[in-house]
Amino acid sequence: MKVLAFNGSPRMNKSNTSLILDPFLEGMRESRAEVELFYTRKLNVNPCQGERYCTSKKPGECFQKDDDMRIVYPKLRQADIWVFATPVYWGGMTGPMKNLVDRMVPLLQPFFGPSDGKPGQPPRAETKRGKVVLVSNCGWWDMNIFDLLLLT
């Protein structure tokens, strides 16, 4: 099983996000999963330009070739589990994590419809249909602080 994890905290491995994420990933490794961890702070991921190249001109391919998504796309396509870990800042994920998530559009079908019986955007044929895990933390104690993150 291949697990691809992204830590969106700017404090990287010295963060509260890592205090939650690292034991989770260690448990995956103990279960013989192949785990690869990226820190979004270290990735050079340009923002999505919203030009729809990946859905209309060349479906499944982003026109941006000069950033680290060229390394990340093949790993995402082959992973069985995607893990996104981010602190909540001002109601949502960190900026670098948002850039990464926005740039994942080429991995998905260009329509919304049922995916495993749930509404959503199903993956393209070349993208493995796996599981998605969200790990998050926040310094605020009210659970509704995560609402905007969950809507994203």
CATH number of residue 80's parent domain:
3.40.50.360
Domain extent at residue 71: 2-151
pLDDT band, residue 115 (cuts 50/70/90): low
What does pTM read for this prediction? 0.91
Domain count of the fold of the chain: 1
Read off the pLDDT of residues 39-80 as tens digits, 9 standing for 90 and up. Answer: 999 999 999 999 889 988 999 999 999 999 999 999 999 999
What is the mean predicted confidence (pLDDT) over 123-142? 89
**Residues with Cβ within 8 Å of residue 69, at least 6 apart in sequence:** 45, 46, 62, 100, 103
pLDDT given for residue 90 in this prediction: 78
pLDDT given for residue 13 in this prediction: 95
pLDDT given for residue 151 in this prediction: 79
DSSP type of residue 111: S
115, 122 contact by CB (below 8 A): yes
pLDDT given for residue 114 in this prediction: 64
pLDDT at 141 over 70: yes
Read off the pLDDT of residues 73-98 as tens digits, 9 standing for 90 and up. Answer: 999 999 999 999 999 987 789 999 99
122, 109 contact by CB (below 8 A): yes
- Edge-first strand order for the sheet with 81-87 is 34-39, 2-7, 81-87, 131-137
pLDDT given for residue 116 in this prediction: 64
